Amino acid sequence: MTRLSFGLTLIFTAMLLAVPSAKAAEKLGATRILFLTQSKGYVHGSVKRNPQDAGQLAPAEVAMIQLGQQSGLFDCDCTQDAAADFTKENLQNYDIVAFYTTGELPIAAADRDYFVNEWLKTKGHGWIGFHSAADTYRTENPEHSWYWDICGGTFIGHPWGSSRRVTLAVHDPSHAVAQPFGKRFEIQDEIYMYNHWNPDNVRVLMSLDYAGSPTDSTVNAKYGTHVPVAWVRSWGDGKIYFNNLGHRPETWRNPAFMASITQAVKWIRGDIAGDSTPNPEVSRAWEAKSRKDVKEYGFKVENLN
């Protein structure tokens, strides 16, 4: 293995209080996840390690390791070194790659091309993006379009900061990945708005409902008023799941959020069904509703055409 923080994982997991059942332990390792939490921009608290303690992992990393152990679905290796670990050679050790990242990552062109054109298109493989994965490659450089396409959108602002409680509408509550959230879901977390968002490519599962999500901040409607929060898509025979939630460390203890991750792993593996057919009609309908709501509820809005 490369300079992956596998050693950190072993040290920490040996200390975990939550010990998996014997049945879960038998399944452990059936799926392997590489969790990249490298920040080349803002460092979120959920992925911030203690620089004074080389063996201490960040809250999101701990949560993913525990989830894998307790569910028996997967092993999770955590790294903050894309240059060393996001490589063609190392990717062959994994079934799923998860990103909680920011900025322009040091991924070599050959490794990127292998990931996009071969690895991710393989049946049973998948990419999961959490929160600021959408604040990664946030540029207008066309060389980064590969990432915009995989992620589904890039950050332009968060009118709903981490202190805000928001209401989310679940468009497809029967979908395996969305089911844990019910038909409506309330949470305190930071919600992004996006550009490079193409509803023709994704199946949007969950959106912000302005009617239950007040904010004093200005909403930038340059790229639309609809605020998608979670979506899925297919990539060849591989699968993609993005969820905007996860800014607050507390979110990584939220039962619905964590259940959606286990469901996503099962969905990517092919254990359970879940439609990834794009549903642009949902985005169109929620764009119309959102435009109506910003006026009805008195939101401060700029760039509304």
Q: Return d(Cα 47, Cα 67) in angstroms, integer.
A: 16
Please determine, for residue 147, whether its predicted confidence score (pLDDT) is greater than 90.
yes
Give the tens place of pLDDT for each residue, 182-225. Answer: 999 999 999 999 999 999 999 999 999 999 999 999 999 999 99
Please determine, for residue 151, whether its predicted confidence score (pLDDT) is greater than 80.
yes
DSSP-derived pairing of the beta strands 191-195 and 203-208: unpaired
Q: Return d(Cα 133, Cα 138) in angstroms, integer.
A: 10
Give the tens place of pLDDT for each residue, 1-53. Answer: 444 444 444 334 333 333 333 333 344 447 999 999 999 999 999 999 988 87
Q: Return d(Cα 289, Cα 169) in angstroms, integer.
A: 12
Q: Return d(Cα 105, Cα 127) in angstroms, integer.
A: 16
Q: Return d(Cα 101, Cα 207) in angstroms, integer.
A: 22
Please determine, for residue 128, whether its predicted confidence score (pLDDT) is greater than 60.
yes
Statement: the pTM of the whole predicted model exceeds 0.85: yes
Please determine, for residue 170, whether its predicted confidence score (pLDDT) is greater than 80.
yes
Give the tens place of pLDDT for each residue, 72-88. Answer: 999 999 999 999 999 99
According to the model, what pLDDT value does residue 54 have? 67
* Domains in the chain, CATH or no CATH each: 6-302 (3.40.50.880)
Mean pLDDT, residues 91-114: 98
Reported confidence tier of residue 131, pLDDT bands at 50, 70, 90? very high
Given a contact cutoff of 8 angstroms between Cβ atoms, the answer to whether 152 and 243 are in contact is no
Reported confidence tier of residue 55, pLDDT bands at 50, 70, 90? confident
Give the tens place of pLDDT for each residue, 214-271. Answer: 999 999 999 999 999 999 999 999 999 999 999 999 999 999 999 999 999 999 999 9
What residues form DSSP beta bridges with 228?
207
Closest by CA position to 149, among listed 279, 266, 236, 207: 236
Torsion angle, CA of 289/130/16/1, rounded to 10 degrees? Answer: 160
